[in-house]
């Protein structure tokens, strides 16, 4: 056999596979991990660039006033612009001020009345809307409407409802031979009356949050409880409420913070009366700063209120984080 024939019969050797070109995914797992980190870092920088303007506004208009109030609380600052550093003098004066403790007590009682009213009303309407299939969107908007109404307008309306002589509520009670009742003039009734009006005004926000929580509960869970023989109340008590607990805690804390910050309703409806029975902590802050122009003392009151809100926020974070885990 000739050499030419042998070459034609011999099998061809496989060619070596070409490796990846530089810059096209080669370099091993270490290089891939490095590129992945670079991409994540680049995405984080792009996201930070988008939120930077809002973050700057948040820092300037949130932390700036807080730091300014913290500084003012350590001074005796007057309307003329003159100030002297007093250290903890305003806080010492605050602890010895009976009016401060009285306003704090009024705020605590109001919050203890307002929060259960609001949460119960929000939870009840959320359950009804969750079970209603007919005109659900219409009723949801109708129940949310008071929340977007001006607090001053709502307070004026409820002040007329509570009027002794020509108020709507006393007219109804008079028709039943049960009135009249001085809701806003009685020291024992003024806080429940304002709390009821505020609950009507503010329950719509919590209602939507609770409704979203109800809609996130898997239907299979309640169907399984129904198959096991649980009635409506048992399903709500032992299935719905435990699954709704994180949302419910969030609503409780948010409404408690709102209760501690009450001012508008009391200012419009009672002006702090009768005999300071509706004189809240924010009302005390308002009088100290804008009536007596004692800005350092008012800032100290604001810092105390800030600490109260902060405590409730930390409780919210702890409870929700525990339930989520």
**Taking the chain (325 residues) in consecutive chunks of 10 residues, what is each chunk's mean pLDDT?**
43 48 50 78 87 88 86 87 88 93 93 94 92 81 91 92 90 86 92 95 94 89 84 85 88 90 94 92 94 91 87 74 52
Q: Measured between alpha carbons, how far is 269 from 9 in angstroms, rounded to an integer? A: 108
pLDDT tens column, 192-229 = 999 999 999 999 999 999 999 999 888 888 888 888 88
Structure tokens of 287? 């009088």
Q: Give the pLDDT score at 113.
A: 96
Structure tokens of 316? 């919210």
pLDDT tens column, 65-107 = 888 888 999 999 888 778 899 888 999 999 999 999 999 999 9
Q: Which residues of 281-309 are buried (b: 16+ CB within 10 A; e: fewer)?
A: bbbbbbbbbeeeebbbbbbbbbbbbeebb
Give the closest residue to 194 by CA, choosing from 162, 219, 226.
162
């Amino acid at each position: 056999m000739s050499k030419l024939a042998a070459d034609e019969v011999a099998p061809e050797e496989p060619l070596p596979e070409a490796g990846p070109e530089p810059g096209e995914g080669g370099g091993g797992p270490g290089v891939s991990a490095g590129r992945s980190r670079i991409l994540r870092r680049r995405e984080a920088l792009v996201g930070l660039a988008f939120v930077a303007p809002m973050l700057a506004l948040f820092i300037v208009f949130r932390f700036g006033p807080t730091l300014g109030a913290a500084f003012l609380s350590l001074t005796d600052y007057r309307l003329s612009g003159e100030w002297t550093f007093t250290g903890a003098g305003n806080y010492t004066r605050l602890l010895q001020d009976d009016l401060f403790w009285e306003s704090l007590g009024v705020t605590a009682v109001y919050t203890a009345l307002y929060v259960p009213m609001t949460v119960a009303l929000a939870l009840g309407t959320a359950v009804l809307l969750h079970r209603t299939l007919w005109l659900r969107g219409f009723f949801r908007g109708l129940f949310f409407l008071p929340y977007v109404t001006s607090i001053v307008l709502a307070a004026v309306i409820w002040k007329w409802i509570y009027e002794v002589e020509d108020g709507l509520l006393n007219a109804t009670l008079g028709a039943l031979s049960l009135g009249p009742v001085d809701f806003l003039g009685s020291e024992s009734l003024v806080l429940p009356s304002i709390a009821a009006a505020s609950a009507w005004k503010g329950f719509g926000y919590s209602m939507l949050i609770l409704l979203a929580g109800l809609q996130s509960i898997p239907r299979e869970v309640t169907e399984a409880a129904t198959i096991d023989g649980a009635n409506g109340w048992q399903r709500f008590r032992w299935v719905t409420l435990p699954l709704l607990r994180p949302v419910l805690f969030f609503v409780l804390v948010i409404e408690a913070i709102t209760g501690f910050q009450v001012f508008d309703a009391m200012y419009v409806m009672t002006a702090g009366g009768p005999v300071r029975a509706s004189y809240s902590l924010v009302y005390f802050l308002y009088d100290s700063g804008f009536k007596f122009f004692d800005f350092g003392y008012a800032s100290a009151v604001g810092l105390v209120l800030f600490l109260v809100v902060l405590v409730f926020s930390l409780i919210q974070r702890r409870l929700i984080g525990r339930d989520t885990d």
